[in-house]
Amino acid sequence: MKKLIRILLVTLALTVCVTTAELGWKVYDLEKRASYSEFRAEVAERAIIAMSGVITSPTQMIQDVMPSAVAIEIYTGDILLDLSTMQVQPQVVRGSGVVTDEEGTILTAGHVGTALRASEKATGMVIFSDGRQYVIQKVVIDPNIDVALLRVDLDPNESLQSVRVAPIPPTVGDRVWAIGSPFGYSFTVTSGIVSAYRDPNGLGQGSSIQVDVSLNPGNSGGPVFDQYGNLIGIAEGIVPGPVDCGVNFVISSSQIADVYLRLYTELTSERE
């Protein structure tokens, strides 16, 4: 009974106040809903899911969220000599990302987007786990935190599976899962726990989430999920070393919410 009361109280608080993350990620979508009460009901439903303790198996959860994860390949326009084969290969910068709306908006790390902006010759592809590929049409990058939004064009009858953002942040010790492309191995799943909250860049813009999840080059920008399949943030970086030492950082969804609406507005206005 006490647990039920706690769930209802938290749900009421989230419904009335609406968390920063929900506002920051969903306000642009309000016009598609019949009313604000419909939006508020959706937030309440998500809060109940997050607080009720209804957990599917990790296998099922990963299957459910995998369609929202993407691999990103940026072709810089330069060529490199592969010393192992002595053949010339195009230079490719690899990263990961996650779908944030059904119309083709992809969230990733800022330094992944920067690779596309670095040269007029650069082109980028977004690849889904079912094999679909789309050319990146637009990119906008936040100047302060390592976040970027990409846009791909879909056919009129196409839509994407967007991610569900966690209505509450994880706590230290919670188990989390990452999907990414370490060393080019796309859609690799790794798991671990939340180790701490930090501010590794000293920007004073809120805490990054420290995790012991294995993250390597190619994971940047990839989604990190809680046990309910909610997005808690995106892979940001690792502590430099010869191998992954288990000290890695995730840009939290609350940090992203602070800049998301502005980036989204910039992204869609550039398309018009």
Please identify every residue annotated as catalytic.
Answer: 111, 146, 220
Q: What distance in Å separates the CA atoms of residue 77 and residue 92, rounded to the nearest whole number?
A: 9
Asked whether 108 and 136 are in contact (CB, 8 A), the reply is no
* The amino acid at 232: I
Distance CA 176, CA 143 (A): 28
Q: What tokens does 131 get?
A: 């094999």
C-alpha 178/C-alpha 214 separation (Å) is: 8
The CA-atom distances, in angstroms, between 37 and each of 56, 116, 152, 251 are 29, 40, 31, 30
Q: Is residue 195 a contact partner of residue 211, using CB atoms and an 8 Å limit? A: yes
Neighbours of 64 (CB within 10 A): 15
- How many angstroms separate the CA atoms of 22 and 53, rounded? 20
Torsion angle, alpha carbons of 207, 242, 72, 168, to 10: -20
Beta strands in the chain (DSSP E): 69-82, 87-101, 105-108, 123-128, 133-141, 148-152, 175-180, 188-198, 208-211, 223-225, 231-238, 248-252
